[in-house]
Amino acid sequence: MDSTSNSEPTTMVAEAVAPTPPKAAAAAPSGPTEDNGSLPIHDEKSTPGADEPSILLYYCYTPHPLPSVPSHIAFQRELCLSLGLNGRIRVSSEGINGVLSSYKQSDLEDYVRRVVGNLGDGMTEDEFDAKYCHLRKDIGVEEQMFDALSVKSTREVVSLWEPGAEEQRSAARARAKALRRRRRNEKMADKEGGNTAKVTQSHCCSLPVVPSPPNGVDLGGYIPAPHLSPQEWNDSLLSLAISGEEAILIDARNVYESRVGHFRVPGVPTLLTNTRKYSSLPTVLEAHKSELAGKHVFMYCTGGVRCERASTYLQALSDGDGWSEGGKERIEKPKGVYQLKGGIQRYLATFGLPEDCVKEQKYELELYQQSSGFVNQCLYKGKNFVFDQRRTDPIIGGLQPVGQCLLCKKPWDDYDNGHSPKQNREARCRRCRILVLVCDECRGKIRTWGENNDDKGDNLPELFCGPGGESCIDEGNFADAVEIIKGRLP
């Protein structure tokens, strides 16, 4: 899930025409199939069974603004309580975004049906974009379940920028006023003998203040980029790679997410933004627009929600006066902007493999890669970082770790060093507290956030999240942290 946002829903205009994604040179099969002794793909692991524990990842933009955010929050709380669901849900007038856990996937499916029904005409389960995710097998089920439920109001489904200082002060005053109102309501309820339900903070607190878009970019009149299914994503990217037409991928996630996995497409570079937080993305796009000029731009994130806003912003940015080189002559706009429908989560449900099967049957994985063909190969490498108690999803895009220890450069993709994420044993930057990959051998040689000299007995060097662990990426110009990598042809 992402941070809260700030502006009113984007206005849809009839004149907005989405670009047509490039077509593959030849028709491709609908997806990976079992062949030549390879691992079965879809039937075995695309989603858990109805009676199995599962994680639900979802978001949706509603056809019409919610008539009452507090009322929908109350509906969500009551529904989750009745089904025994825990997790985090963000409710705005333009839609909802959430991640929930349950010991039975059927309860999550029931939740989706009832929420879709509550949202009214025009909302379908396809528009709801629900992904049912497997649990890891190397840690206990209980350790992967949420312990509590949080339902809160936000200005937007996802926020692309933060409010300024004055806007933050205004929001603080509004929150203080709402808190005083809540306390008055609770005192009145107590005087009436407790017959009146107390108003919770989630219901009464005002929504976050709306910040101003960066660089004066106006998103009005722009719609999100066209969605490509996982198969269309493969077809389009590989067609462009074969034809030699210029394209580029943008990883719209943060640095700690892309470090354990990202797309590596033969012949197509991937721009790793390496941001600490999502609200830094506009600055990165502005600073690296020359790398996007005249190319087909493919954006992706964990589940798709961040690309809805980011792709809208990129299209508006490229139409604006600031789309120039060095503030002088305008440069060519992207030939098209596209986003991966359902994000990495849905892509790996189509082309990925269960981590435990990959580790136990490496030879079968190699057979699958050889028999599945160029177009049906999994173009995502590594693990998918998730914002729940699992840390990473067990459906992966390859056997070899993509990540590496920040200190010794050894291949490494375990933030928790063999522990459950719930144990809070992960390494974090001493300054900004984001996750840092440090192998078992190097872990005892440094002090991370939350550790002091007494914890380890030695005056060990501090760990930061920048190159070599010596500085924090949140210091200075974070747009300089961008990496552009290239996949290799098979």
CA distance 122 to 115: 13
Beta bridge partners of 254: 275
Give the closest residue to 24 by CA, choosing from 224, 250, 228, 226: 228
Rounded distance between C-alpha atoms, residue 464 and residue 42, angstroms? 41
Residue with more model confidence, 233 or 15: 233
16 pLDDT more than 80: no
Higher pLDDT, 77 or 372: 77
- Coil/strand/helix, residue 131: strand
Q: How much is the CA Rg of the chain, to the nearest whole Å?
A: 23
Categorize the per-residue pLDDT at 135 as very low, low, confident or very high, splitting at 50, 70 and 90. Answer: very high
pLDDT digits (tens, 9 = 90+) for 409-456: 999 999 999 999 999 999 999 999 999 999 999 999 999 998 876 666
Strands across the sheet with 54-61, in order? 131-133, 54-61, 95-102, 86-92, 149-153
pLDDT digits (tens, 9 = 90+) for 56-111: 999 999 988 999 999 999 999 999 999 999 999 999 999 999 999 999 999 999 99
Compute the distance between CA of residue 377 and CA of residue 397 in angstroms, rounded to an integer. 10
Kindly give, in sequence order, each residue whose CB lies less than 8 Å from that of residue 192, ignoring residues fewer than 6 positions away.
Answer: none
Return the minimum-mean-pLDDT range out of 28-32, 156-160, 288-292, 422-426. Answer: 28-32
Q: What is the pTM of this model?
A: 0.81
User: Quick check: 214 pLDDT over 90?
Assistant: no
Q: Which two tokens stand for residue 44?
A: 């075995």
Q: What is the pLDDT of residue 191?
A: 65
In this structure, what are the phi and psi dihedrals at residue 211, rounded to the nearest 5 degrees?
-80, 165
- The CA–CA distances, whole Å, from 465 to 253, 279, 285, 318, 423 equal 16, 18, 22, 32, 21
Q: Based on the number of CB atoms within 10 Å of its own CB, is 165 exposed (0-12), middle (13-18) or buried (19 or more)?
A: exposed
Handedness of CA 61, 64, 68, 72 (dihedral sign): negative
Q: Rounded to an integer, what distance in angstroms lies between the CA atom of residue 281 and that of residue 161? A: 8
Asked if pLDDT for residue 210 goes beyond 50, the answer is no
Rounded Cα distance between 300 and 66, Å, is 27
DSSP annotation of 453 reads H
pLDDT score recorded for residue 52: 94
Closest CA to 211 of 169, 253, 176, 254: 169
Parallel, antiparallel or unpaired: strands 296-300 and 247-251: parallel
Of 471, 453, 478, the C-alpha closest to 285 is: 478
Please give the Cα distance from 393 to 377 (Å, whole number). 19
Q: What is the largest CA-CA distance in the chain?
A: 75
Determine the Cα–Cα distance for residues 297 and 332; give it in Å rounded to an integer.
Answer: 13
Residues 6+ apart with CB under 8 A from 422: 143, 389
| Mean of all residue pLDDT scores within the chain | 81
DSSP states of 322-386: T-BSTTSSB-PPPSEEEEETTHHHHHHHHH-EEHHHHHH-HHHHHHHHHHS-STTS--EEE--B-
State residue 258's pLDDT score: 97
For 276-299, letters b (16+ CB in 10 Å) and e give bbbbbbbbbbbebbeebbebbbbb
What's CA 140's distance to the chain center, in Å? 24
**Each residue's pLDDT tens digit, 25-54:** 443 333 333 333 333 343 444 677 778 999
Evaluate whether 358 touches 233 at the Cβ level (below 8 Å).
no
Residue 247's DSSP bridge partners are 296
If one counts every other C-beta atom within 10 angstroms of the C-beta of residue 8, the result is 14
